[in-house]
Amino acid sequence: MPNTVTKAIFPVAGLGTRFLPATKSVPKEIMTLVDRPLVQYAIDEARAAGIEEFIFVTSRGKSALEDYFDHSPILEQELLRKGRTDLLDALKQTDMESGQIAYIRQHKPMGLGHAVWCARQLIADEPFAVILPDDVIAAEKPCLQQMIEAYEETGGNMVAAMEVPHEKTSSYGVLDAAEDRGSVVSIKDMVEKPKADEAPSNLAVIGRYILSPSVMQNLHEMKEDTGGEIQLTDAIAEDIAAGGNAFGYLFRGQRFDCGSKAGFLQATVAFGLARDDLRDDLMNYLAEMVQANRAAQ
């Protein structure tokens, strides 16, 4: 049977505390890089990889996200009346066929693993992708598409991975991987947020996964950790311990941690500079700012 993946889970039920007070009323995933919210980048990447069903795990206060993928008849009529076909085209990115997108509530923020488990009844017995929209990856070939192509050869579980400085491992799930550093590495174990001196490597898991149904089954049986959360990393590690295959995929592309303020600002600049209509003004402005700041120091 070919390893096809047609469903993706987007866990977006976190509290987004690093962006308070903004995230008190604006979901993090609706914050924009230039003129597109984070969630649009995630959906585009999933579509490019052949995903057909989009499952959002949401929480209280995320209705702006549901509205974003809804039709907006008054706005559309007004744009039509004004002949703004350019803007009507821009709106088309947000079109979803009825039934293609589902929203499930995570009632308490009990961790990423728990959020993924909330979607269990829509996944049934098939492999599925997980995309964290706050990890934005700029790449010629979208990251999930790269991974699905590799996964068609390997099967098993696959996580996106990248090398991080050793002192940063405590912010990530970290791979205990075979030495060979091709683009696909075989994983022996995974550890959630290890201290730098205990980390098995500097290969960190980034927010893209392709998972087998047995990982969902593990989540079903898991207990909360001491922090009261259920970790996705632990469910994958358990699958490996039970003899399942897992692979780290070292993607080609640049990842921005848009869940952090610094990462979000860097992404804003990078995506602004990538736009023909903004590049020159932005570059001049940045050069002036850098010069003025240096002079003031």
Q: Which residues bind ligand UTP (CB under 6 A)?
A: 11-18, 28, 57, 106, 109-112, 114-115, 132, 134, 259
For tokens 């047995």, what's the residue? 214
Q: CB-wise, 112 or 203, nearer to ligand UTP?
A: 112
| Minimum CB–partner distance for residue 228 and ligand UTP (Å) | 10
| Minimum CB–partner distance for residue 29 and ligand UTP (Å) | 7
In angstroms, the CA 101 to CA 190 distance is 31
| Minimum CB–partner distance for residue 33 and ligand UTP (Å) | 15
Q: What would you report as the CA-atom Rg of the chain, rounded to the nearest whole angstrom?
A: 20
**Among residues 267, 202, 200, 192, which one has the least CA distance to residue 230?**
192
Q: CB-wise, 186 or 260, nearer to ligand UTP?
A: 260
Exposed/middle/buried for residue 103 (C-beta within 10 Å: 0-12, 13-18, 19+): middle
Q: Which residue is nearest to ligand UTP (CB)?
A: 14
Task: Please name the residue ranges forming H helices in the chain.
Answer: 38-48, 63-68, 73-81, 85-92, 112-117, 120-123, 143-154, 213-221, 232-241, 261-273, 279-296
Question: What residues does 227 pair with on adjacent strands?
Answer: none
Q: CB-wise, 18 or 188, nearer to ligand UTP?
A: 18
Q: CB-wise, 184 or 211, nearer to ligand UTP?
A: 211
| Minimum CB–partner distance for residue 133 and ligand UTP (Å) | 6
Q: CB-wise, 207 or 244, nearer to ligand UTP?
A: 207
| Minimum CB–partner distance for residue 207 and ligand UTP (Å) | 7
